[in-house]
Amino acid sequence: MIRDDAAEALGRAEFFDICDDEQRRMLAFAGDVRHFDPDAVLYQAGDMPQGAFVLLEGTLKAKPEGPGAGKPYAISEPGSVVSAMALILSKPRPVTVTAVTDTRTLFVPRTAFLKLVQQSPELAQRAVARVERELGDYLGALEPAHRKMKADEGG
């Protein structure tokens, strides 16, 4: 029953729409449900998470850290994916994520996701397209700030 709930949560999670139902069931089986008390840290800025968290219930706070860090923000929508890029890259995260309320997540290990990608060229293509689209959206959002900075510099 818990695995069915986890697979259903992955079905609601936007990043995992690149997976078919069977792939989501396999990731749910490989993952584990984790409970966090209020103020518990999922991971700190500078950590390299070994996978992604899918919010099942509760509220999280993400606090960007380092130069040019933005404002903290809340994550409370069930199915939200925290650190989706950690499914693909082993790279330190620039954000500290903590529980605000009693929180349950499904942790999806990078090793399980990469194994599925290696077994399915179609999934690999969809994953690449998703990452390219998300990076394009991110860079597009930065463009107005870049233009404003150039204008302020007189260039």
Answer yes or no: is pLDDT of 108 > 80.
yes
- Residue-wise pLDDT tens digits, 23-75: 999 999 999 999 999 999 999 999 999 999 999 999 999 999 988 788 999 99
Interval 4-18 mean pLDDT: 86
Of the CATH numbers 3.20.110.20, 2.60.120.10, 1.10.260.40, 1.10.1040.50, which one belongs to the domain with range 2-153?
A: 2.60.120.10
Task: Report whether 115 contacts 40 (CB < 8 A).
Answer: no
Confidence of residue 124 (pLDDT cuts 50, 70, 90): confident
Q: Is the dihedral of CA 103, 15, 90, 136 positive or negative?
A: negative
- The residue ranges of every structural domain in the chain are 2-153
Interval 132-138 mean pLDDT: 73
Number of neighbours of residue 75 by Cβ within 10 angstroms: 17
Distance CA 116, CA 142 (A): 32
The rounded mean pLDDT for the chain is: 87
pLDDT at res. 1? 44
DSSP state string for 104-149: EEEEEEHHHHHHHHHH-HHHHHHHHHHHHHHHHHHHHHHHHHHHHH
Answer yes or no: is pLDDT of 112 > 80.
yes
Answer yes or no: is pLDDT of 148 > 90.
no
pLDDT at res. 154? 59
Answer yes or no: is pLDDT of 143 > 70.
no
DSSP state string for 48-85: --SEEEEEEES-EEEEE-STT----EEE-STT-EE-GG
Structure tokens at 129: 């397209």
